[in-house]
C-alpha cells in the first residue's frame, strides 16, 4: 500500500461540531437552559415534600437544563481545544462558562434541599420505579451532605470558580498548547518531540529529549505559578468543605473510599520491581549499561514502523469486529461521520481524549496523530471511550458517565483487543518482541507511572499546605524523587527531565485524577482475562457493562463482569497479569537471540 504524506499525518481527519448545536445556536441553548432554570426555581422550598412523581417531573426539567448547557458548553469547549490561540474561540468558551455558571447557580438550592431530606424518607421515594432514570444520581448526590455549605456560600464558590480555578486551568492549557520545540532545524509541536522518544536510535532520542527540555524552559516559572495557585485554591476549597485530605474530594466523586484507593496505591508501589525488571532487560536489548529517562519509550525494533491513518482505521475496526460486530459498526460511524479530529496542528491541545457531549448527540474523539504504532493503540483506546459513551446514551444525562475509576475500562479493553490482533499478525521474533515490549510499556505507563504521578501530586499538595509556595526547584525535587522511587537504579533521571512535570494537564484540570488510570487498567486487564476464559459467551456481559454507564455503583458494575472491586486483593490479581506479560517479554527477548540470559 502506498501511504501518502496526508495519510501519515491524518491531515483530513477533522470533526464536524455543528450538528452538536442542531437547529439552534449557542445563545438559543443558553436561553433554553435559563428557561428550564426558571421552572426549577418554582420548586424552591418544596423538595422535602415531593413524592416520586413530583421529583421525577422536576428531575426531567433538570435534565433539560443540563442538555442545553451540555450542548453549548461542549461546542464552545471543543472548538477551543483545536485552536487555543484563536481569541474568538477563547472568548466564546469563556462567555459560555460564565453564563452557564450563572444559570446553574440559580438551582443550587435543589441539591441542598435534597441533601437535607431524612434518609428514611429519601430511600422510600427513591424506591419508586418512576425515578429509575435518575435514582443513582440522586443517591450519589446525598453523599456530599457533610461537605455542602449554605446556599449563599455555594453560589459564591460557583461564581468565583469562573475567574478562579477554571480560568487558571484555561491559561495552563493555552500555555502548554503554545509550546514548540526545535527539532532537525524545524519548529514543531511538543507532541512531535515526545513522539520522537520512541525512535530506535539513541542519538535521536537524546536530541528530542534535549529539545523538549529547551522548549519547556521559557514558560516554566509561569506554569509553576499557575500550579501553585491551583494548589492553594484547592486547599482553600477542601478546608471550607471539611475534606480530610487533598485526595478525599476526588475519591468521593469516584465513589471510592479513601481506604480502597490507598490499598490500590500501596499495591502498585509494592510492585515497583516490575518496571525496574523491565528497564534492566531493556538496557540489555538496547546495548547500554543503564537506560536514561529518554530511553524508556524507545522501540526495541530495528526501525520504528509508520502507520497511515487508513491502515490504522482498518486495524482498529478489525480488532473491534473480532470481539463484537455491533461495536465495530458503531466505531465505523466515528470515521464516516466526522466524529474524530486527528492531526497535529499549531495551537491544538496536546494529548488525546473523548468528549461524551450529551446523550441525545454522540461523542467526539481528539487525537494528535504522529503515525506511530503507539498512535494506533491510542486510537483504539479513545475509541473504547467513545463506544462506552455511545452505548450508555440510553441511560440519559444523569447516568451516561461513570466515575473516573471505571471510565478507563472500555478504553483499555479496546486497546488490549487491538494489541491482540497486531500480535496475531506478527510472527517474526524481533517484531513480536517489539510488540510485546510496547504493550508492556503501555501497562507500566498506565499503572506504575500514573501511581508515581499520584505520589508526586501527594507531595506537592502536602508541601503547599504545610510549607507554602513551591519553587520550580521544589517541583523538580518532588518529581525526581517520585520517579526515582518507581524506576530505582534501572533508569538514570537526567537533569533536563526534572522539569517534565510542567506540561501534564491532569495535575491542573483534574487534581487527583491520575490514579484512575491504574484503577481502570488493572480492572480492564481482569475483564480481558474473563474474556479470554469465556470467549464469545462473555461478550453480552461486557456490552451490558458498557450500556449500564454510571447507573450503578462501581462495585455493582464490576459484578456484571464478575469482578469484586471491594476486595483489596483484587489489585494483586491485576498486577500478577502484568508480571506475566513481563515474563512473556523476557521469553521473547531470549527467543530473538539478542540476549543469552535475563539479568537479575
Q: What local confidence, expressed as pLDDT, does residue 120 receive?
A: 96
Mean pLDDT of the chain: 94
> Which residue intervals of 197-336 are DSSP H helices?
202-216, 220-240, 248-253, 258-269, 273-286, 309-323, 325-336
Q: Is residue 315 situated within a structural domain?
A: no
Cα distances from 310 to residues 11, 13, 367, 423, in angstroms, run 12, 11, 15, 19
Q: What local confidence, expressed as pLDDT, does residue 198 receive?
A: 86
- Number of other residues whose CB lies within 10 A of the CB of residue 8: 17
Residues 55 and 96 in one domain: yes
End-to-end, the C-alpha distance of the chain in Å comes to 43
Q: What local confidence, expressed as pLDDT, does residue 287 receive?
A: 92
Distance CA 392, CA 549 (A): 5
Q: What local confidence, expressed as pLDDT, does residue 536 receive?
A: 92
User: Is there a contact between 161 and 152 (Cβ–Cβ < 8 Å)?
Assistant: no
Highest mean pLDDT among 54-68, 365-379, 550-564: 54-68
Q: Is residue 201 situated within a structural domain?
A: yes
How many domains does one find in the chain?
A: 2
14-18, 26-30, 250-254, 529-533: least confident range: 529-533
**Taking the CA of residue 112 as centre, how many other CA atoms within 13 Å lie in the half-sphere pointing to its CB?**
16
- Tens of pLDDT along 100-127? 999 999 999 999 999 999 999 999 999 9
What is the reported pTM?
0.84
Q: Which three cell numbers stand for residue 99?
A: 453564563
Please count the residues of the chain. Answer: 600
> Which whole number is the average pLDDT over 566-579?
88
Model confidence at 527: pLDDT above 70: yes
Which residues constitute the domain of residue 466? 180-244+258-301+451-502
Q: Is residue 472 situated within a structural domain?
A: yes
- Number of other residues whose CB lies within 10 A of the CB of residue 570: 20
Residues 102 and 130 in one domain: yes
Residues 141 and 194 in one domain: no
> Which whole number is the average pLDDT over 247-273?
94
Confidence grade of residue 200 (pLDDT, cut at 50, 70, 90): confident
Confidence grade of residue 315 (pLDDT, cut at 50, 70, 90): very high
Q: What local confidence, expressed as pLDDT, does residue 405 receive?
A: 84
Residues 145 and 193 in one domain: no
Confidence grade of residue 404 (pLDDT, cut at 50, 70, 90): confident
Residues 126 and 235 in one domain: no
Residues 282 and 159 in one domain: no
Distance CA 132, CA 121 (A): 17
Model confidence at 1: pLDDT above 60: no
Residues 156 and 189 in one domain: no
CATH number at residue 53: 1.20.140.70
Q: What local confidence, expressed as pLDDT, does residue 600 receive?
A: 66
Distance CA 108, CA 104 (A): 7
> Which whole number is the average pLDDT over 201-228?
96
406 or 379, higher pLDDT: 379
Q: Is residue 540 situated within a structural domain?
A: no
Distance CA 492, CA 473 (A): 18
Cα distances from 588 to residues 58, 300, 575, in angstroms, run 60, 12, 20
> Which whole number is the average pLDDT over 468-483?
98
Residues 149 and 205 in one domain: no
Tell me the backbone φ, ψ of residue 23, rounded to 5 degrees.
Answer: -90, 0
Distance CA 234, CA 177 (A): 24
Q: Which three cell numbers stand for residue 466?
A: 504545610
Cα distances from 170 to residues 163, 246, 344, in angstroms, run 10, 22, 20
Residues 154 and 227 in one domain: no
Distance CA 463, CA 569 (A): 31
Q: Is residue 489 situated within a structural domain?
A: yes
For the four alpha carbons of 42, 401, 135 and 519, in that order, the dihedral sign comes to: negative
Closest by Cα among 216, 456, 517, 253 to 350 = 216
Distance CA 325, CA 318 (A): 9
Q: Is residue 159 situated within a structural domain?
A: yes
Q: What local confidence, expressed as pLDDT, does residue 97 receive?
A: 95
Phi/psi-derived region of residue 400, left when phi > 0, alpha when psi is between -120 and 50, beta in every other case: alpha
Distance CA 401, CA 229 (A): 29
Residues 98 and 203 in one domain: no
Look at residues 502, 535, 567 and tell me which one is the last residue of a structural domain. 502
Q: What local confidence, expressed as pLDDT, does residue 88 receive?
A: 97
Look at residues 111, 136, 163 and tell me which one is the last residue of a structural domain. 163
Tell me the backbone φ, ψ of residue 291, rounded to 5 degrees.
Answer: -70, 150
Torsion, Cα 280 286 287 291, to 10 degrees, reads -50
Residues 37 and 132 in one domain: yes
Q: Is residue 491 situated within a structural domain?
A: yes
Model confidence at 425: pLDDT above 90: no
3-state secondary structure (DSSP) of residue 247: coil
Q: Which three cell numbers stand for residue 132?
A: 429509575
Cα distances from 326 to residues 317, 321, 323, 532, in angstroms, run 11, 8, 9, 19
Q: Is residue 522 situated within a structural domain?
A: no
Cα distances from 44 to residues 50, 109, 114, in angstroms, run 11, 7, 11
3-state secondary structure (DSSP) of residue 394: helix
Q: Which three cell numbers stand for residue 460?
A: 506537592
Confidence grade of residue 597 (pLDDT, cut at 50, 70, 90): confident
Distance CA 445, CA 518 (A): 9
Q: Which three cell numbers stand for residue 126?
A: 427513591
**Bridge partners of residue 364, in order along the sequence:** 355
Distance CA 161, CA 98 (A): 9
User: Is there a contact between 351 and 328 (Cβ–Cβ < 8 Å)?
Assistant: no
Closest by Cα among 401, 359, 356, 355 to 63 = 359
Q: What local confidence, expressed as pLDDT, does residue 303 receive?
A: 65
Residues 24 and 154 in one domain: yes
Q: Please give the biggest Cα pair distance in the chain.
A: 77
**Taking the CA of residue 356 as centre, how many other CA atoms within 13 Å lie in the half-sphere pointing to its CB?**
23
User: Is there a contact between 176 and 126 (Cβ–Cβ < 8 Å)?
Assistant: no
- Tens of pLDDT along 227-236? 999 999 999 9
Distance CA 139, CA 110 (A): 14
> H/E/C letters for each residue in 40-57?
HHCCCCCHHHCCHHHHHH
Distance CA 249, CA 237 (A): 10
Q: What local confidence, expressed as pLDDT, does residue 150 receive?
A: 95
- Tens of pLDDT along 65-103? 999 999 999 999 999 999 999 999 999 999 999 999 999
> H/E/C letters for each residue in 147-175?
HCCCHHHHHHHHHHHHHCHHHHHHHHHHH
Model confidence at 305: pLDDT above 70: yes
Model confidence at 475: pLDDT above 70: yes
Look at residues 502, 518, 545 and tell me which one is the last residue of a structural domain. 502
Tell me whether residue 473 is exposed, middle or buried, using C-beta atoms within 10 angstroms of its C-beta: 0 to 12, 13 to 18, 19 or more.
exposed
225: CB partners within 8 A, 6+ apart: none
Distance CA 63, CA 49 (A): 21
Model confidence at 244: pLDDT above 90: yes
Confidence grade of residue 299 (pLDDT, cut at 50, 70, 90): confident
pLDDT > 70: percent of the chain? 99
Closest by Cα among 504, 499, 506, 505 to 217 = 499
Amino acid at each position: 500500500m502506498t501511504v501518502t504524506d496526508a495519510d501519515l499525518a491524518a491531515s483530513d481527519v477533522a470533526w464536524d461540531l455543528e450538528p452538536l448545536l442542531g437547529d439552534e445556536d449557542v445563545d438559543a441553548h443558553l436561553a433554553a437552559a435559563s428557561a428550564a432554570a426558571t421552572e426549577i426555581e418554582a420548586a424552591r422550598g418544596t423538595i422535602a415534600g415531593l413524592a416520586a412523581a413530583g421529583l421525577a417531573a422536576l428531575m426531567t426539567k433538570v435534565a433539560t437544563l443540563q442538555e442545553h448547557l451540555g450542548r453549548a458548553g461542549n461546542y464552545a469547549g471543543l472548538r477551543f481545544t483545536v485552536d487555543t490561540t484563536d481569541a474568538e474561540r477563547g472568548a466564546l468558551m469563556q462567555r459560555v462558562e460564565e453564563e452557564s455558571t450563572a444559570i446553574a447557580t440559580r438551582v443550587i438550592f435543589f441539591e441542598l434541599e435534597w441533601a437535607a431530606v431524612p434518609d428514611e424518607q429519601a430511600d422510600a421515594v427513591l424506591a419508586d420505579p418512576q425515578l429509575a432514570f435518575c435514582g443513582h444520581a440522586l443517591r450519589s448526590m446525598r453523599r456530599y451532605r457533610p461537605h455542602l455549605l449554605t446556599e449563599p456560600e455555594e453560589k459564591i464558590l460557583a461564581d468565583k470558580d469562573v475567574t478562579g480555578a477554571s480560568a487558571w486551568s484555561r491559561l495552563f492549557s493555552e500555555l502548554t498548547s503554545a509550546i514548540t520545540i526545535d527539532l532537525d532545524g524545524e519548529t514543531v509541536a511538543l507532541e512531535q518531540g515526545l513522539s520522537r522518544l520512541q525512535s530506535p536510535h539513541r542519538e535521536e532520542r537524546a536530541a528530542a529529549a534535549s529539545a523538549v527540555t529547551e522548549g519547556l524552559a521559557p514558560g516554566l516559572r509561569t506554569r509553576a505559578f499557575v500550579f501553585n495557585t491551583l494548589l492553594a485554591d484547592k486547599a482553600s476549597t477542601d478546608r471550607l468543605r471539611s475534606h480530610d485530605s487533598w485526595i478525599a474530594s476526588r475519591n468521593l466523586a469516584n465513589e471510592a473510599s479513601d481506604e480502597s484507593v490507598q490499598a490500590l496505591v500501596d499495591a502498585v508501589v509494592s510492585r515497583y520491581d516490575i518496571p525496574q525488571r523491565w528497564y534492566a532487560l531493556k538496557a540489555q536489548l538496547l546495548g547500554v549499561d543503564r537506560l536514561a529517562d529518554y530511553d524508556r519509550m524507545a522501540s526495541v525494533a530495528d526501525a520504528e514502523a509508520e502507520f497511515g491513518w487508513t491502515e490504522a482505521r482498518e486495524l482498529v475496526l478489525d480488532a473491534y469486529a473480532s470481539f463484537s460486530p455491533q461495536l465495530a459498526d458503531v466505531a465505523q460511524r466515528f470515521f464516516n461521520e466526522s466524529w474524530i479530529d486527528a492531526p497535529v496542528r499549531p495551537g491544538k491541545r496536546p494529548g488525546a481524549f473523548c468528549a461524551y457531549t450529551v446523550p441525545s448527540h454522540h461523542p467526539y474523539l481528539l487525537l494528535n496523530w504522529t503515525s506511530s504504532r503507539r498512535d494506533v493503540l491510542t486510537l483504539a483506546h479513545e475509541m473504547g471511550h467513545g463506544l462506552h459513551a455511545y452505548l450508555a446514551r440510553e441511560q440519559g444525562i444523569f447516568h451516561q458517565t461513570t466515575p473516573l475509576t471505571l471510565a478507563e475500562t472500555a478504553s483499555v479493553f479496546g486497546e488490549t483487543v487491538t494489541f491482540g490482533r497486531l500480535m496475531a499478525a506478527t510472527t517474526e521474533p524481533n517484531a513480536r518482541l517489539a510488540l510485546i515490549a510496547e504493550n508492556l510499556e503501555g501497562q507500566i505507563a498506565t499503572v506504575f507511572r500514573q501511581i508515581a504521578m499520584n505520589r508526586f501530586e501527594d507531595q506537592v499538595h502536602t508541601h503547599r499546605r504545610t510549607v507554602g509556595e513551591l519553587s520550580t526547584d521544589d517541583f523538580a525535587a518532588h518529581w525526581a524523587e517520585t520517579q526515582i522511587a518507581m524506576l530505582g537504579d534501572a533508569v538514570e533521571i537526567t537533569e533536563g527531565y526534572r522539569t517534565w512535570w510542567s506540561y501534564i494537564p491532569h495535575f491542573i484540570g483534574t487534581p487527583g485524577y491520575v490514579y484512575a488510570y491504574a484503577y481502570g487498567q488493572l480492572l480492564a486487564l481482569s475483564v480481558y482475562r474473563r474474556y479470554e476464559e469465556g470467549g464469545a459467551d462473555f461478550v453480552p456481559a461486557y456490552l451490558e457493562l458498557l450500556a449500564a454507564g454510571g447507573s450503578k455503583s462501581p462495585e455493582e458494575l464490576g459484578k456484571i463482569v464478575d469482578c469484586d472491586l471491594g476486595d483489596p486483593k483484587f489489585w494483586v490479581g491485576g498486577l500478577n497479569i502484568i508480571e506475566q506479560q513481563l515474563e512473556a517479554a523476557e521469553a521473547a527477548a531470549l527467543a530473538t537471540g539478542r540476549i543469552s540470559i535475563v539479568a537479575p
